């Protein structure tokens, strides 16, 4: 009779031992579980032990199965698939539970102290033979000692992925790496001159600075890596978002954004109502301005109603004190029919229903109301006699999708679908050689916290192709100054102004010649810096410390040399479109590298960038609430 071999297992070890595929059925028939206390496997503690006793069974020699393979699989599981050694050990072996198998895969396995159970063993080896009548209890060997790791290999394993990437590309550890994703040859040249190395894979994660045209931040961007965009730059570059931020800061300042940013409205369900109220109010103002210059063109009943609306608007502006952009209903239904009508009979018919008494001195009353409104409304001067509004696609740039309207029904039909913004058109622009123009001003944000603003002292003017004429609002070459629009004109090569652009030095010369003094330095440029500061403080924290960004501010100058902010562009065009931009683009990108790379290393040269503002305290993130 075969002498039974006693095995002692924990509960977890027994589960592993019994429930493996290919072992379970044969092992259940071979072993009989003895439970002296009649406890269930599921109710016993994991530290309680079971006794197993192997029993011979009938017809054992007639059954052909690979017993030694079962033993190998069983002990491979128990010892976590370690390679056997040729050294045979004597004495007790430690058979661990499932906890040991899990902990051996964990990097903190040395910190965990695990329960162990023992099994008495006889001389054994890992390789087993087919079982005979005398059952041999198998033994197995311990793993060999791990070879000693060299110091160089150990240091390599401790390197960061970025350092390993440098080693694989034969680069020194201290070298700086940059990525250019876009057409920025001047940035590449400036960084190479400073000893930086370019990673030519635009999708790579290994860089110190990445300069990209795409305003979206990479998902795997690390905190210490520099990127030329802020996470919240859309608060400035999206047109309606900029205006919403402007309105929030106007609560603490009288007039606020209305002194430098034309009224703008997002044409959604809520914005359409606000826009229509302002459209009717400004239409009334345009009517009174035209009556003041041409009193015999208009019907007196229409002007009486327009004066009533004008007085109502003055009271509304006094009540609101410019703290918000919402107007109460200024124009009643019948009043609007009178003001907006071109039929004298309809005007007289609707006027009789209002039962208003005639005004004796209508012209003087109109002049007094206009003078009072000019004091109350900071945008009185930019409203002309045409009530023109410029409509822009909310997320487009470079003049795409821009249309001018002075008819509400046509405007509403144009903006019935999609995202649109309506902005009051500046009807008194400064004209040079018969052309309308705007100013492109570069602004660099080198840090978000503390907010650090740099303004570039060299900007340029962009002129329209054709002479200014507010009677023709359908011709884009009269009213739009974007280079992408102007160069499509057949008259671009024969334009009076070469490339339709001026440098700021040429504009200074013009002002000195026409006005007798350099009004750019004394009046216009200081006003630009205030607008830039106000717009960025309105947004608050831009969302990331190790980001920087160059924004393109577009300003319009009116006939009183007062600048008005039109919009802010993220990733402004940096191509050599004209001889003017070729010189300025090279300079501004070189100077931007000076501010971002050289200044933190103690070099004070910032080129033409001038520090406009640096906050002392943390700038909070503004929300839409």
Phi, psi of 333 (to 5 degrees): -60, -50
Are the C-beta atoms of 223 and 543 separated by less than 8 Å? Answer: no
pLDDT at residue 330, rounded to an integer: 83
Gyration radius from the chain CA atoms: 41
C-alpha to C-alpha distance for 514 and 484, rounded to whole angstroms: 30
Which whole number is the average pLDDT over 360-387? 92
- Enumerate the domain spans of the chain: 6-119, 151-227, 234-263+386-614, 283-376
CA pair distance 132, 59, nearest whole angstrom:
13
What is the average pLDDT across 109-131? Answer: 43
Q: Note the pLDDT tens digit of each residue in 262-278.
A: 999 988 877 788 899 89
Beta strands in 243-299 (DSSP E): 264-266
557: closest CA among 324, 260, 323? 260
Mean pLDDT of the chain: 79
What pLDDT, on a 0 to 100 scale, did the predictor assign at position 238? 84
pLDDT tens sequence across 385-442: 999 999 988 666 666 778 999 999 999 888 887 788 999 999 999 999 999 999 999 9
Q: CA 30, CA 45: separation in Å to the nearest integer?
A: 25
pLDDT tens profile 408-422:
999 988 888 778 899
CA atoms of 142 and 92, how far apart (whole Å): 12
Q: What does DSSP assign to residue 617?
A: S
Domain spanning 234-263+386-614: CATH superfamily: ATP-grasp fold, B domain (3.30.470.20)
Q: 150 falls in which pLDDT band (50, 70, 90)?
A: low
Mean pLDDT (whole number) for 88-95: 42
> What angle (nearest 5°) sits at the alpha carbon of residue 344, between those of residues 343 and 346?
70
Three-state SS at 112: coil
Alpha-carbon gap, residue 249 to 535, rounded angstroms? 9
């Amino acid at each position: 009779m075969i002498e039974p071999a006693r095995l002692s297992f924990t509960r977890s070890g027994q589960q592993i031992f019994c429930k493996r595929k290919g072992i379970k059925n044969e092992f259940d028939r071979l072993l009989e579980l003895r439970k002296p206390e009649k406890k269930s496997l599921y109710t016993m503690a994991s530290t309680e032990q079971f006794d197993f006793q192997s029993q011979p069974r009938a017809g054992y020699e007639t059954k052909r199965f690979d017993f030694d393979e079962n033993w190998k699989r069983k002990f491979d599981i128990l010892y976590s698939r370690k390679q056997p050694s040729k050294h045979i050990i004597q004495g007790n072996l430690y058979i661990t539970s499932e906890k040991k198998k899990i902990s051996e895969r964990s990097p903190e396995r040395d910190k965990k102290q695990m329960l162990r159970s023992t099994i008495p063993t006889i001389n054994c080896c890992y390789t087993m033979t087919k079982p005979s009548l005398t059952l041999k209890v198998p033994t197995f060997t311990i793993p060999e000692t791990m070879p000693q790791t060299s110091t160089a290999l150990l240091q390599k394993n401790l390197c960061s992925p970025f350092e390993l990437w440098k080693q694989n590309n034969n680069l020194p550890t201290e070298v700086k790496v940059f990525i250019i994703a876009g057409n920025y040859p001047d940035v590449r040249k400036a960084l190479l001159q400073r000893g930086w190395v370019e990673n030519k894979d635009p999708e790579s994660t290994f860089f110190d600075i990445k300069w990209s045209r795409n305003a979206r931040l990479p998902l795997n961007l690390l905190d210490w890596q520099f990127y030329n965009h802020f996470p919240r730059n859309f608060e400035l570059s999206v047109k309606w978002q900029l205006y919403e931020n402007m309105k929030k800061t106007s609560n603490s300042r009288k007039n606020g954004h209305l002194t430098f940013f034309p009224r703008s409205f997002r044409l959604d369900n809520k914005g359409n109502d606000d826009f229509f109220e302002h459209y009717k109010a400004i239409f009334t103002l345009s009517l009174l301005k035209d009556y003041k210059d041409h009193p015999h063109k208009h019907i007196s009943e229409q002007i009486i109603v327009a004066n009533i609306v004008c007085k109502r608007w003055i009271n509304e502006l006094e009540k609101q004190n410019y703290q918000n952009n919402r107007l109460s209903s200024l124009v009643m239904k019948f009043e609007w029919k009178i003001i907006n009508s071109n039929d004298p009979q309809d005007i007289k018919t609707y006027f009789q229903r209002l039962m208003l008494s005639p005004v004796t001195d209508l012209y003087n009353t109109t002049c007094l109301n206009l003078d009072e409104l000019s004091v109350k409304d900071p945008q009185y001067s930019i409203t002309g006699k045409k009530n023109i509004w410029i409509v822009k696609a909310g997320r487009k740039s470079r003049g795409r999708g821009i249309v001018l309207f002075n008819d509400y029904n046509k405007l509403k039909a144009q903006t019935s679908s999609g995202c649109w913004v309506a902005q009051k058109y500046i009807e008194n622009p400064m004209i040079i050689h018969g052309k309308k123009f705007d100013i492109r001003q570069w602004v660099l944000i080198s840090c978000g916290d503390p907010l650090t603003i740099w303004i570039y002292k060299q900007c340029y003017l962009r002129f329209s192709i054709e002479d200014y004429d507010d009677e023709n609002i359908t011709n884009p070459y009269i009213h739009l100054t974007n280079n992408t629009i102007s160069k499509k004109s057949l008259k671009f090569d024969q334009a009076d102004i070469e490339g339709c652009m001026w440098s700021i030095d040429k504009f200074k010369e013009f002002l000195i010649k026409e006005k007798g003094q350099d009004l750019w330095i004394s009046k216009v440029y200081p006003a630009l810096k205030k607008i830039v500061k106000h717009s960025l403080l309105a947004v608050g924290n831009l969302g990331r410390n190790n980001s920087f960004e160059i924004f393109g501010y577009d300003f319009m100058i009116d006939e009183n040399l007062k600048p008005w902010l039109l919009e802010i562009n993220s990733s402004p065009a940096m191509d050599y479109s004209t001889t003017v931009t070729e010189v300025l683009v090279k300079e501004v990108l070189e100077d931007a590298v000076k501010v971002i790379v050289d200044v933190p290393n103690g070099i004070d040269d910032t080129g033409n960038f001038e520090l406009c503002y640096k906050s002392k305290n943390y700038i909070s993130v503004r929300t839409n609430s």
